[in-house]
Structure 1
Amino acid sequence: MKSIKILLILLLLICKSFAQNIYEVQPGIKNNQIILELANISITETAQIKSLPKFSKGGANGRIKFIGETEKSVELKAGETREVVFRFDVDYNIGTTKSDTIEFLITDNNRINITKQFIFNYTVPKEYKLEQNYPNPFNPGTRISWQSPVGSWQTIKLYDLLGREIETIVDGYYETGFHSTLFIVNSSLPSGVYFYRLQAGDFVQTKKMMLLR
């Protein structure tokens, strides 16, 4: 989980645009937080504040998913400071996307618009890694995820307990990044324990999955 905290000073009757903030996030991490600390520095007036995140053109929708309400409203008395918390998940399967941008549009009762922009740079995998499938046990589908530090030809194959190859799940060239695929099991395959193996060049990793009919 990553937590980002930003102080926004709201100047009544003045419109300001805030600079970009750049953060590094890891794909697949859940329940991250953006905390906007809103301060009304007026000594006389109460402010009704609304905060709303929006994705940039061609942006993060699907890769960054906000949890719960996305529009937050608060009342700030003169001189008061309050926190507004937005929670979000980062999808694992970002492919080769390097960054995404989200803007927060903040308005008050005087129709002041403040735009706060966040740029999320996705971390680059440092090693090959095969993740545990989810859900597990499963029927009939499960998601298999893996990461690649370099572009290469990669295969994921399914085996039974005797080591016999059952099916090829993935077979292709994948760039540096985080990847996943939805595996729908063959209807004739019986319940039991199976193994799926990632191979990329000399790298090999195997994990166990369970099918329940």
Structure 2
Amino acid sequence: MAHLIVIPKKLIMSLDPVACDYRGWQVINIERQNLGQGIIPWPVYHIQTASQSPYNLGTTDINLIEIINPQGIEERNIGLTDKLLKILPNPFRKSTTLNLTLPNDSPVYIDLIDISGRTTENIFSGYLTKGAHHITYNKKGNIASGNYFFRIYYQGSTYLKKVTVLN
């Protein structure tokens, strides 16, 4: 029987243990897909339970700290720069479009989060191929005017893009 030896290349730290568990679940699934293995399906019950009443622990933390490659074993520069990610229109009233240009095939997770780091809505979760993608977000009725962030997990990194919602 073959054994897979994995050398950790990422540390995830947060004051919110549920945020660490949720992000860890996503990181593990990305690596499993990169290795050609199946993903661990949602729901992960302790995360789902902790995020609901009466606990209301967050499954996101805008101050989540990720240290990629603490040992310097492997470096990947994948940044979703403004060239690769555009959100138009911004600000928006009813809908906006995220225009992503990905350099590689990868699982992608996109959430709308408020300024305190709480997930307002899960926008997209799936596998995207290399190239251009257009993901439309239609605002739900209960989202107040203000500043929010689209949080994008892509190839083990997190990117935040500020958006303004108008009513």
Scaled by the length of structure 2, the TM-score of the pair is 0.49
* Higher helix content, 1 or 2: 2
Scaled by the length of structure 1, the TM-score of the pair is 0.39
* Higher strand content, 1 or 2: 1
